[in-house]
């Protein structure tokens, strides 16, 4: 099952651990709606899912957002945190994360890359 994993990199006296971000697709979490519901509930309880996303429009938001609950399961993805959503190129939801959405909108209107905050070009 996809989740955040740590990758060990050796080389110097110290061992470094790099975080590997893995977005979870809802449909990949089980073969039936009941199985997917159980897996999602378990991952939420364990803190491995904190945000949901809409793959078609590349948006992410809170799990209790009414806009997110209306999307089709096959377009739904999950993230452990905001950093992972940004890393995958998703933007904040204007409905449940209005402050983050407005900040994102200001950055994009100034010609900055929406996912990394760098200037385009």
Summarize pLDDT for 44-53 with one digit per residue, the tens: 999 989 999 9
Cα separation, 20 vs 49, in Å, equals: 15
Which tokens is 12 given? 């110097």
Higher per-residue confidence, 90 vs 121: 90
pLDDT at 23 over 80: yes
pLDDT at 76 over 60: yes
Mean pLDDT of 53-82: 92
Mean pLDDT of 68-73: 88
Whose tokens are 């099952």? That residue is: 1
Give per-residue pLDDT as tens, 78-95.
999 999 999 999 999 999
C-alpha pair distances (Å), 36 with each of 4, 12, 74, 93:
18, 42, 12, 24
């Amino acid at each position: 099952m996809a989740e955040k994993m740590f990758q060990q990199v050796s080389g110097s006296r110290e061992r470094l651990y790099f975080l590997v971000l893995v977005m979870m697709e809802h449909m990949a979490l089980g073969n039936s709606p009941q199985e997917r519901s159980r897996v999602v509930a378990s991952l939420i309880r364990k803190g491995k899912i904190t945000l949901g996303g809409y793959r078609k429009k590349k948006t992410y938001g809170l799990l209790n957002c009414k806009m997110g609950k209306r999307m089709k399961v096959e377009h739904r993805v999950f993230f452990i945190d905001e950093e992972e959503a940004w890393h995958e190129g998703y933007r904040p939801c204007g409905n449940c994360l209005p402050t983050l959405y407005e900040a994102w909108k200001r950055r994009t209107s100034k010609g900055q890359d929406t996912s990394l905050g760098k200037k385009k070009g």
